[in-house]
Chain A
Amino acid sequence: DVKVTQSSRYLVKRTGEKVFLECVQDMDHENMFWYRQDPGLGLRLIYFSYDVKMKEKGDIPEGYSVSREKKERFSLILESASTNQTSMYLCASSGPVRGSPLHFGNGTRLTVT
């Protein structure tokens, strides 16, 4: 079974802090994704990566950056956390085959105070 692991389940940070959300997958998947989930808005794509050191902006990249130095790890970075970034963050990975489903981590609930 594919395992996608997010380093923190709950995180509380202060406004202005630099925040790192880490995600690791164990299936040698090329594609990795960061989504943000808010009630009534569903899941919105922040960034995705289809290879090491490659990244593409999703629908809501403002205020975020990403890093993919190794194939198994995809980090989401909040350069200066703000209260409107309080949310659930979901990491996912998928293989290169067309139509592959995404496999998700358990999510990180981030609160910025």
Chain B
Amino acid sequence: AQTVTQSQPEMSVQEAETVTLSCTYDTSESDYYLFWYKQPPSRQMILVIRQEAYKQQNATENRFSVNFQKAAKSFSLKISDSQLGDAAMYFCAYRGQGGSEKLVFGKGTKLTVNP
């Protein structure tokens, strides 16, 4: 079974600085999808970024980018120019090949942004 590990339960960053959240996963599949979700205090889970494993290029969405290392099974999230609104729980997630495959989540990293 696939597993997702987030080794940092909590992280903090100064406003306007850059922070990297770590995620590793375990799978025997060659084709899969990886996601980062953000959950602010409002509880709404928001998709931050999505990566397709067969694509070499790292996904980016504005200030958010990933470092996808397929051989190392690593999928870290970099947040540049951190803003107060970035404070949230961040979850890394894995989804297999099938259309109805479930999403497997890590335990989350709580990010605090200091003014």
User: Interface residues, chain A, CB within 8 Å of chain B?
Assistant: 30-31, 33, 35, 40-45, 48, 50, 56, 58, 88, 90, 92, 95-104, 106-107
Contacts and interface: CB of A to CB of B under 8 A. Distances in A.
Contacts of A45: 102-104
A102 B107 CA distance: 17
Q: Is the interface of B mostly helix, strand, loop or mixed?
A: loop
A98 B99 contact: yes
Contact of A43 (B42, B98, B105): B105
A96 B100 contact: yes
Contacts of B91: 42-43
B50 A101 contact: yes
Contacts of B44: 104, 106-107
Interface size class of B (residues with CB under 8 A): 20 to 34
Interface string B17-57: 00000000000000001010000001111010010100000
Contacts of B99: 30-31, 50, 95-98, 100
A101 B100 contact: no
Contacts of A104: 44-45
Contact of B35 (A44, A101, A107): A101
B107 A41 contact: yes
Nearest to A108: B43
